[in-house]
Amino acid sequence: MDQLRHFLVDLTGTFRNLLPIILVAALFQWVVLREMPAEAGMVLAGLVLVALGITLFLRGLELSVFPLGRNLSDAFAREGKLGWLLAFGFCLGFAAVIAEPSLIAVAAKAEVVSEGRIQAWLLRVLAAASVGAVLALGILRALLNHPVLWYLVGGYLILVLVTYLTPPEITGLAFDAGAVSANMVTVPLIAALGMGLMAAVRGHNVLAAGFGLVALAVMAPRLTLQLYGIVVYAVDPGAVSGYEAHAAAAPHPAEAPADRGRDVVRAMLGLMASLLPIIAVILVFQVLVIRQAFMHARRVVSGVVMLLLGLLFFAQGLQWGLFPIGEQLALGLGRPDALPYLYLFVFLLGFAATWVEPALMAVVRHASQLDPARLRPALVRGLAALGVGAGLLLGALRLVQGWALEHVLAVTLLLLVLLAFLAPRDLVGFAFDLGGIATSDVTVPVITALGVGLALALGSEDVMLDGFGLVALASLYVIVGVLLYAIVMNRVRRHGELP
């Protein structure tokens, strides 16, 4: 009964967290568009599934992912198996990304748009290998106690240069693919691995050295995929042709109940397939390398089941609830008479979607235990939500005004480099990690649907060029917001205005 009571309390809290996104959608649906959403009952059922999925997912994390990450970190640190630890980092990164559903969808879209010249399987392998390699590098950096600032600054400066060498059609795709490579399962696991490893090693500041792995995992695919695009374009300049707007705008036929049932089964099988590589890596290293039995195995198994059910309910809820809202509102707000409301809507939608991001909730809750004074959960989530809203606002301005994406990204990256030097060193890795954490399984699908819908509604001739890039800007301005907060807090404390 106690477990049920705790679950109901958590579920009530999740519904309360969902209220902002429901209110934003309702406000613009009824006040601006002046019409009820299509299939309102299905949308409502979807929102209920989203709330149930988030609650199960967070509970599953507490029972399975976080304990596993801490146990593996403790064992590797205690036994001094550096080579195996680096191998584990690579395998974990590769396994998590290669089966990521969002990356599979982005890769498939890129293959269609490029008429097969960009190969979906190769794009996925490159993204997964780059994440695995950079996770191994990040673990080594943390153990050597190198400041994460130099790794991030160096990587982002290279990214600025490569961005100007990349075909414009590839730039937004590569930046967005980097964001979707970090998902709801892997982000908490990577964060738990980093924090657990630093907690197990003496003489290391967990807050300063334990974060940065997620940021590196997000940055690596962006660089790798842009280099891939440069090579493809150099071999065949016609490889990245425009996207047919009328094809993307084709309405989706209404699904019969039987079709929806099959979709649920396919979604369940897809989620199991995406989790299996991660579980396999953990099992191999736990049993064959560390050679330890799982502690509290029954609790871990129940946590994995909750995780799987939570992801299933959540994914189906997105399909029924949030996706249709985002697409319909984006198309409606793209009309000339509704443009005055466009900027307000994208900001509020970004804020609301990020506020209910499960991966953000989970990681911020654990990080706040390291520095309760500066990292208050509600404050950090609010900063991340403001950053996503600001990034989407800038992205909408870019679409309307016709600004080149590479210029906007380059200026933003240089701003990040400057702020990283000014911010307190112990919060740099955490701030950059939040950029990948805040744009995960809630925010990314909503923003992607919004970007494509806006590009179509604004009459874009090349949706691949104009529809991608919003996720990247949302991710980057989360980092801007948290770094600015860290700088201000540091100045205030230095002048003695806070105890």
Structure confidence by residue, pLDDT tens digits, 352-368:
878 877 778 878 887 88
DSSP 255: P
DSSP 293: P
- In this model, does residue 334 exceed pLDDT 70? no
- The answer to the question of residue 422 being in a domain is yes
- Whole-number pLDDT of residue 313: 81
- The answer to the question of residue 164 being in a domain is yes
What is the band of 474 on the pLDDT scale with cuts at 50, 70, 90? confident
DSSP 404: -
- 21 neighbors 322 (Cβ within 8 angstroms): yes
Please state, as a whole number, how many other Cβ atoms lie within 10 Å of the Cβ of residue 376. Answer: 13
pLDDT, greater one: 405 or 253: 405
Q: Which of 67-76, 93-102, 356-365, 417-426 has the highest mean pLDDT?
A: 417-426
- The answer to the question of residue 268 being in a domain is yes
In the block, tokens 């001739």 appear at 461
Q: What is the DSSP string of 184-203?
A: TTHHHHHHHHHHHHHHHSTT
- 106 neighbors 173 (Cβ within 8 angstroms): yes
pTM surpassing 0.75? no
- Whole-number pLDDT of residue 237: 58
- In this model, does residue 264 exceed pLDDT 70? no
- 290 neighbors 76 (Cβ within 8 angstroms): yes
- Whole-number pLDDT of residue 348: 84
42-46, 62-66, 111-115: least confidently modelled range: 111-115
What is the band of 268 on the pLDDT scale with cuts at 50, 70, 90? low
- Whole-number pLDDT of residue 390: 93
Question: Whole-angstrom Cα distance, residue 389 to residue 179?
Answer: 16
- Work out the percent of the chain whose per-residue pLDDT is above 70: 69
- Whole-number pLDDT of residue 246: 35
Of 475, 479, 455, whose CA–CA distance to 175 is shortest? 475
402 is in which domain, residue-wise?
A: 2-494
The angle at the Cα of 101, spanning 95 to 104, to the nearest 5 degrees, equals: 90
- 383 neighbors 481 (Cβ within 8 angstroms): yes
pLDDT tens-digit map of 311-321 = 778 777 767 76
In total, how many domains does the chain have?
A: 1
Q: Which of 24-38, 249-263, 383-397 has the highest mean pLDDT?
A: 383-397
- In this model, does residue 252 exceed pLDDT 50? no
In one-letter notation, the amino acid at residue 367 is: A
pLDDT tens-digit map of 29-39 = 777 666 666 66
Q: Which of 25-29, 36-40, 164-168 has the highest mean pLDDT?
A: 164-168
Of 42, 17, 3, 47, whose CA–CA distance to 361 is shortest? 17
- In this model, does residue 340 exceed pLDDT 90? no
Q: Which of 75-84, 231-240, 326-335 has the highest mean pLDDT?
A: 75-84
- The answer to the question of residue 360 being in a domain is yes
- The answer to the question of residue 499 being in a domain is no
Of 308, 324, 304, 312, whose CA–CA distance to 264 is shortest? 312
